Chains A and B, each alone.
Chain A
Amino acid sequence: MERSRWLLPLLLMLCLGLGYTVLSMPEPVEGLPEMLVDNMEVAGVSNPVTAVLLNFRGYDTLLEMGVLLVALLGVWSLGGIPDYRESSPGLVLDIMSRQLVPVLILVAGYLLWVGADAPGGAFQAGSLLGAAGVLLLLCGWRIGNRCSGLPLRFLLILGLGMFVVAGTGLLLIGGEFLQYPSPVARELILMIEAAATLSIGATLAAMFLGSLPGGADK
């Protein structure tokens, strides 16, 4: 009874807020697709989606990588999550994952490479790597204690780090933050995307594991 009394005003407030937000949305800017098409030759890549994500709006993608990292930190900070029950993966899962994981890694590499000119890119490739990691985790594989400390953390921040380093480097040589000079834009984007792919894959797999790797064994 106590709950339902507060529910209605809360829902009403939410509806009002949503309605106000929808009604007060700014007009969509005209001519954005044309602007994109006009600037494609300086983008360094021929896939417009990648051009927007990694070049023209690179700052958004940088922050997105940060959000992923913070999400993982949130999961880790919960702490004390029990590991999965010990169970043998079974013949089907075992054999299938042996076949699938190399294919997944190969496809991830392909998606990363092809992202410059066709649908694909770091997030798709990274999530495939993450899926490969999830398969391995389901089969009972755990990251060794030797790699669960610094190497894993390095891998996790590699994407965000590469982004920041590239942006700061450009600042240092007299450019603007994340404004790639067009002759090397393709190489820079590929480098950032490759780092981001590895980080995204590692982050997603670590999120699936949940607990801080290596911490439980101590």
Chain B
Amino acid sequence: MEALTILNWVLDGLLGVSLFSLAWLALASPDIFKAIVLFISFGLLMALAWVRLNAPDVALAEAAIGAGLTGALLLAAFARLEDISIGASDGEEVQSHIQHDSNEEPK
């Protein structure tokens, strides 16, 4: 029993630390694609955290909407941004616009 409690603490601690580090990495990453992937993995870990907090309803919603569909929407937007930058003649400038916009995009 005692060992199980300690294991739970270790698990929760790991979960919390990785959540914070994933969140920071996602925000600080200059590469948009990497940031999106990190955001999706953040959502999945967040779902685990909700399970640990005994909120399975929220965990289901987080996994399905937060990680799954938001991730898909972000990736879709990213694909379109790439399309635009390929289509434009001066791809360099558009790329910098994209980088700039991504910093202000609310998540």
Contacts and interface: CB of A to CB of B under 8 A. Distances in A.
Given A49-B57, A119-B60, A121-B57, A127 B76 contact: no
A210 B76 contact: yes
Contacts of A123: 61, 64-65
Given A49-B57, A81-B80, A82-B83, A128 B73 contact: no
B80 A131 contact: no
B60 A120 contact: yes
Interface residues of A, number: 21
Interface in B49-107: 56-57, 59-61, 64-65, 68-69, 72-73, 76, 79-80, 83
A210 B80 contact: yes
Interface on chain A toward B: helix, strand, loop, or mixed SS? Answer: helix
A126 B60 CA distance: 12
- Number of chain B interface residues as a range: 10 to 19
A196 to B, nearest CB: 13
A124 B73 contact: no
Contacts of B79: 84-85
Contacts of A85: 79, 83
A112 interface: no
Nearest to B60: A124
A124 B83 CA distance: 32
A131 B72 contact: yes
Interface of B: 56-57, 59-61, 64-65, 68-69, 72-73, 76, 79-80, 83
